[in-house]
Amino acid sequence: MDTLTSAPPAVARLGEALAIDVRNLRRTFGPVVAVDGLDLEVAAGEVVAFLGPNGAGKTSTIDILLGLSHPSSGSVQVFGTTPRQAVANGWVSAVLQTGGLLRDLTVRETVQITASLFPATQPVDVVLRRAGIEDIGSRRVGACSGGQQQRLRFAMALLPDPRLLVLDEPTTGMDVEGRRAFWQAIHADAARGRTVVFATHYLEEADAYADRIVLVAHGRVVADGTPAEIKALTSGRTVRAAWPGVRASDLEAISRVGDVEVTPGRVLVRTDDSDAVARWLLTETPARDVEIAGRGLEDAFLALTGPADPSQDQTENAGGNR
């Protein structure tokens, strides 16, 4: 497997426990292997995106980090202790996609009631301000947009002033403006030194807001690097064409300039010189209906992981939500 990895940046001070230390994590659900030998080290202060297609194992891993579920095998430490203990210590908070809000309460009441559940918290005004919702404190939750509700969940998550904030696909279903405002609030907060780990399907989101992207597929880390390194994996173009009766041997000439895949009646070439490939297909071969497209994340996943195992539904919609 063509795997890109780079060591996490030396953000942690010498002797300071890693924020997250996951070794050889496996999580199975009956016959389904959701997480399959995943290793992950996150230093304190890093902002890390966990990027992967549907069914890659992101939520299963995050649930374990939050102490909501147990590993089938492997070890998981959060700031040098078990996830449950880290959560109990108020070191870890989560912003999840849905649930947990009462529509008839106001934004401020929601945060106040949540604060009353903790022995000590940051002041309500402070978390409302950090989440960028101080101006809608008297609005009913039911009247808030999806983006505002997510910022409310973020404000609630900030109450114990956690060292680690975990967000599982926090912007799914939000419009562009909602996503921008949400990430602006998270980003400003992360700049103060909090460790942030978020799962997403969106390469652009990971690129814009993470220091480091961990690419997961089939329950494993398949690439780990800076956004620039991960984006380089998705550079180049794909050229697709219909070619009735094509055989692998017909493409030998072109395999020098690209990575070729042949399926009955169709060819797909991944290349940095799409013009040359398209010209050759149209002039030298019976190929027709030539399409050129930017190589996206889905292709990067496929290039890194190989074809999915059809017996698992892990990759059924690979990259489909981009």
Ligand X SMILES: Nc1ncnc2c1ncn2[C@@H]1O[C@H](COP(=O)(O)OP(=O)(O)OP(=O)(O)O)[C@@H](O)[C@H]1O
Is 32 a binding residue for ligand X by CB under 6 A? The answer is yes
By CB under 6 A, the residues from 35 to 64 that bind ligand X are 52, 54-60
Q: By CB under 6 A, tell whether 29 contacts ligand X.
A: yes
Considering the rule CB under 6 A, would residue 215 count as an interface residue with ligand X?
A: no
Which one of residues 275, 284, 289, 313 is an interface residue with ligand X (CB under 6 A)? Answer: 313
Q: Which of 230, 238, 314, 318 binds ligand X (CB under 6 A)?
A: 314
State which residue, 55 or 170, has the beta carbon closest to ligand X. Answer: 55
**Alpha-carbon Rg for the chain in angstroms:** 23
Minimum separation from the CB atom of position 173 to ligand X (A): 13
Residue 137 lies near ligand X (rule: CB under 6 A): no
Give least dist CB 54 to ligand X, A: 3
3-state secondary structure of 8: coil
Distance CA(303)–CA(296), nearest Å, equals: 11
CA distances in angstroms from 78 to 23, 200, 202, 247, 315, listed in the order given: 12, 21, 26, 52, 28
Residue 80 makes CB contacts below 8 A (sequence gap 6+) with 17, 18, 21
Asked if 110 interacts with ligand X (CB under 6 A), we say: no
Strands (E), 79-157: 92-95
Nearer to ligand X, 58 or 295 (CB): 58
Backbone phi and psi for residue 193, each to the nearest 5 degrees, phi listed first:
110, 5
Q: Which is nearer to ligand X, 67 or 90 (CB)?
A: 67
Instruction: Supply 34's token pair.
Output: 């959701």
C-alpha distances in Å from residue 125, one per residue of 6, 108, 161, 220 = 40, 9, 13, 41
52/258 with CB nearer ligand X? 52
The token pair at 174 is: 């939000």
- With respect to ligand X, which residue has the nearer C-beta, 34 or 92? 34
172, 97 Cβ separation under 8 angstroms: yes
Residues binding ligand X: number (CB under 6 A): 13
The minimum distance between CB 222 and ligand X, in angstroms, equals 13
Q: What is the Cα–Cα distance from 129 to 6, expressed in whole angstroms? A: 36
User: From the list 22, 34, 40, 94, which residue makes contact with ligand X (rule: CB under 6 A)?
Assistant: 34
Q: Which is nearer to ligand X, 54 or 122 (CB)?
A: 54
Q: Which residues form the interface with ligand X (CB under 6 A)?
A: 29, 32, 34, 52, 54-60, 313-314
